[in-house]
Amino acid sequence: MATQNLLQAIHDGLAEEMRSDETVMVLGEDVGKAGGVFRVTDGLQAEFGETRVMDTPLAESLIVGAAIGLSVNGMKPVAEIQFADFIPPAFDQIVSEAARFYYRSNGAWEVPMTVRAPYGVVPGGALYHSQSVEAYFCNTPGLRVLAPSFPADAKSMLKSAIRDPNPVLFLEHKMTYRLIKQDVPEEDFDVPIDKAKVHREGTDITVVAYGLILHHALEAAEKMEAEHGISVEVVEPMSLYPLDKDTILASAKKTGKVLVASEANLSGSVSGEIAAVVADGAFEWLDAPVRRLGSPDSPAAPYAKPLMERFLIGKEEVEAAMLELAHY
């Protein structure tokens, strides 16, 4: 075991796959000599060379388009989008091309491509560095959308994503890169790529959360039990698409009350889909309406600090929502 933060675990996952499989390569803006804007790919170009850790122009459609071409020609590219906010120019390539390649070729062509994208609010990030883009892609059959929130899970799931024969969008919350630390096994280990994870058992309410909000929820759950005697079960849907409905529904039926929390804008978010799954599959077990918590429907996180703090979902908001739901 080695204690690592999320950034270090992802770096090691990439390096290990590149050492074990010569068809794995990395491409993106500043991923080579600079080691990436967050330093996730630091040192990889020195170890593997410029042809396997390739700096690209500032053109996201080119990055993903090239990755698609590489993937159907025997490579397993990992394309980095420097910030998830910059992914729209590559939307057509991801959704219209990569996700549909296997289907439209009647299974003749696989696209073993992984797209890494740092997402979520970061202080001072404002319009173009703080967006949650997951909902745009969670309506795309043929594409996996993963968003693990702990280092060990992220490392294992990234390795599984690289090995997957079809395209994967791998989301990494920027605020958790250095904030969240955990003991990570040094040997190869397997975390299922399509399963949700119950981080904390409980009996009174279920909280379904991911990203930075998951860590807020875990802290709030401890406080709820210590101060109010409320037992909170916390579930992380590490695969946002497709969802592990069975784990979510089992928890909902167990507790009878469900809070779905994320950092994304509330309208049209993944939390709405999770709430619909619960309402459809566990209605007879519910003791309260499904509650959702999310950011305001603002075009983007504000730059001004007071406004940004108002926009963010913090620990206090998570605690208040838990308490309100528990007392319903």
Query: Which of the following is catalytic: 11, 129, 215, 216?
Result: 129
Of 199, 215, 204, residue with least CA distance to 313 = 215
- How many Cα atoms are found within 13 Å in the side-chain-facing hemisphere of 152? 15
Calpha distance 217→120 (Å, rounded): 16
Task: Report the candidate in 30, 57, 35, 58 with the shortest Cα–Cα distance to residue 46.
Answer: 35
Residue whose tokens read 């996700």: 99
> Exposed (0-12), middle (13-18) or buried (19+): which is 15, by Cβ within 10 Å?
middle
Q: Tokens in use for 239?
A: 């695969």
d(CA 171, CA 104): 26
* Nearest residue to 212 via CA among 272, 301, 88, 286: 301
The C-alpha atoms of residue 293 and residue 170 are separated, in whole angstroms, by 23
Q: Is 129 a catalytic residue?
A: yes
The long-range contacts involving 223-227, CB below 8 angstroms and separated by at least 24 positions, are: 223/319, 224/319, 224/322, 224/323, 224/326
User: Token pair for residue 136?
Assistant: 């745009």
HEC string of 210-236 equals: CCHHHHHHHHHHHHHHHHHCCCEEEEE
Q: How far apart are CA 79 and CA 13, in angstroms?
A: 14
136 contact partners, CB below 8 Å, separation of at least 6: 91
Could you list the active site residues? 129
